Structure 1
Amino acid sequence: MDAHQEELSNPFAMDEDCRNCPALADCREQVVHGYGDAGGEFVFLGESPSAGAEETGVPFTGDAADERIQRILGELGFSRSPPEADDPDVQNVYLTYLTRCRHPERAATDEEVRNCEPFLNAELRMINPHIIVPIGDRVLEELAVEYTTRAPESFDVFEEHATTVRGRGFELVPMIPPAEQTDEQEAAFVEHVKENVFSRDYRQTKGRRSR
């Protein structure tokens, strides 16, 4: 699987007609695969697309909560677009989800998460990020199983928000879901990354992509 370096949308050319989860395939508008810098050092990982992201086809775009993520990306120097952009101009960061399809009435099942694991695992192998930002408890717990030495139930994203957790091969910087964040929690996350992550040789190296 080769990355299309100049493509931000689905740069790994993953299956956009995937039907591994029939209940999702029958109700989705489109599959929302990853978006961003295929050589980025940072990955922002959410649970599943919002209604806005399903409409735009781009992770973390299309509604007010997603605009908070885009604002954070801008504050950290990862995006050169306004927060409301549907196709943000990002660098050194990749945006993706545990599950790529949205059900309008429920969260993804454990089986649906497992069905999407090959997509996420392939992205992480290809990108080889230094930092993963798990957004929400479910994402943090899923990563804990394979990538940390801690028990999944020991994590609480509200307690771990804006801290650094040691993982296997990379570090995790957990984030409270944007719809549940206060402005103070947003500021704390940005400050932590600027003061404690960028200061340790992660300062905007732009990955392998230059635009």
Structure 2
Amino acid sequence: MDAHQQGTKNPYGMDEDCRNCPGLCDVRERVVHGYGDVGADFVFVGEAPSLGAEETGVPFTGDEAGERFQHILGSVGLNYSLPDSDEPELDNAYLTYLTRCRHPDRAPTDEEVVTCEPYLNADVRMINPEILVPVGQRALTELGEEYTTTPADDLDVDDLHASTVRGRGFELAPMVHPAGQTDEQTEAYVEFFLDLLDTDYRQTKGRRGR
């Protein structure tokens, strides 16, 4: 974990009473900002909080999909807690979303993703990771459009799961959302990520030392 970090939950003190999306403010339970190591090489980005994450206030926790996700992180040395922990002990990993509020009946609208984009941009800019991990198709589409020159129609998370996509400033390492992963896909991602850690994945970007 970054030596200068004060905490893991919303470490940048982003607005927890954000009122920028009228269609979400009155139906959400809370805003779920980023969580983890602000010195991380790896930033994992999902679409929006699940019910479990909304209850815990921590991305990718609080349900079976979260446990599968945290199991993956633990299997590659990024999580030192049990998979069912509501506040996992992460190292070299930061978790966040395209949008920070959950609507109980629908996915985020395009307008809501755009409205929330400054929060994600701030996370990425301040952390300056080496690898962005889009978790699920929506995250891959949005991050692919922002950080790669690959046409959106060619970015299929099922095809690109457990592989890398070269981007502008970052590599993307897409992951099928844990809620829809098979055991074989989970095992494939763990094997892929362990191999990735064995490579010289760090770019020359003037990063601070860990």
- Shared fold per TM-score greater than 0.5: yes
Q: After superposition, where does 1:21-32 map in structure 2 within 5 Å?
A: 21-32=21-32
CA contact (8 A) 1:8 1:37 kept: yes
Q: C-alpha distance in 2, partners of 1:209/1:96?
A: 23
CA contact (8 A) 1:4 1:11 kept: no
SS of match in other structure, 2:44 = strand
Q: C-alpha distance in 2, partners of 1:208/1:15?
A: 27
CA contact (8 A) 1:38 1:208 kept: no
1:37 aligns with 2:37: yes
Q: C-alpha distance in 2, partners of 1:209/1:185?
A: 33
Runs of 4+ deviating beyond 4 Å:
207-210
TM-score, structure 1 as length reference: 0.93
SS of match in other structure, 2:129 = coil
Which residue in the other structure is 1:201 paired with? 200
Give the partner amino acid of 1:96: T
Structure with the larger RCO, 1 or 2 (CA within 8 Å, 6+ apart): 1
Give the partner amino acid of 1:168: R
Give the partner amino acid of 2:95: L
Gaps of at least 5 residues in structure 2 are none
Give the partner amino acid of 1:199: D
Cα shift readout 1:12-55 (whole Å, capped 9, x = no counterpart): 11000001001101000000000000110001110000000000
Gaps of at least 5 residues in structure 1 are none
Which residue in the other structure is 1:98 paired with? 98
Q: C-alpha distance in 2, partners of 1:98/1:141?
A: 11
Q: After superposition, where does 1:155-194 map in structure 2 within 5 Å?
A: 155-194=155-194
Give the partner amino acid of 2:69: I
Cα shift readout 1:89-140 (whole Å, capped 9, x = no counterpart): 1010000000000000000000000010000001000000001110111111
Distance of aligned partners of 1:140 and 1:86 in 2 relative to their CA distance in 1, 3 Å threshold: same
CA contact (8 A) 1:92 1:209 kept: no
Which residue in the other structure is 1:15 paired with? 15
Give the partner amino acid of 2:8: L
Report % sequence identity.
Answer: 63
How far is the alpha carbon of 1:154 from its aligned partner? 1.1
Q: C-alpha distance in 2, partners of 1:39/1:149?
A: 27
Q: C-alpha distance in 2, partners of 1:8/1:148?
A: 29
Distance of aligned partners of 1:61 and 1:209 in 2 relative to their CA distance in 1, 3 Å threshold: farther
Q: C-alpha distance in 1, partners of 2:13/2:82?
A: 26
1:111 aligns with 2:111: yes
Which residue in the other structure is 2:150 paired with? 150
Q: After superposition, where does 1:43-122 map in structure 2 within 5 Å?
A: 43-122=43-122
Q: C-alpha distance in 2, partners of 1:31/1:201?
A: 36
How far is the alpha carbon of 1:80 from its aligned partner? 0.5
Cα shift readout 1:130-160 (whole Å, capped 9, x = no counterpart): 0111011111110111200111111110000
Q: C-alpha distance in 1, partners of 2:170/2:145?
A: 14
Distance of aligned partners of 1:128 and 1:28 in 2 relative to their CA distance in 1, 3 Å threshold: same
TM-score, structure 2 as length reference: 0.93
Q: C-alpha distance in 1, partners of 2:173/2:51?
A: 25
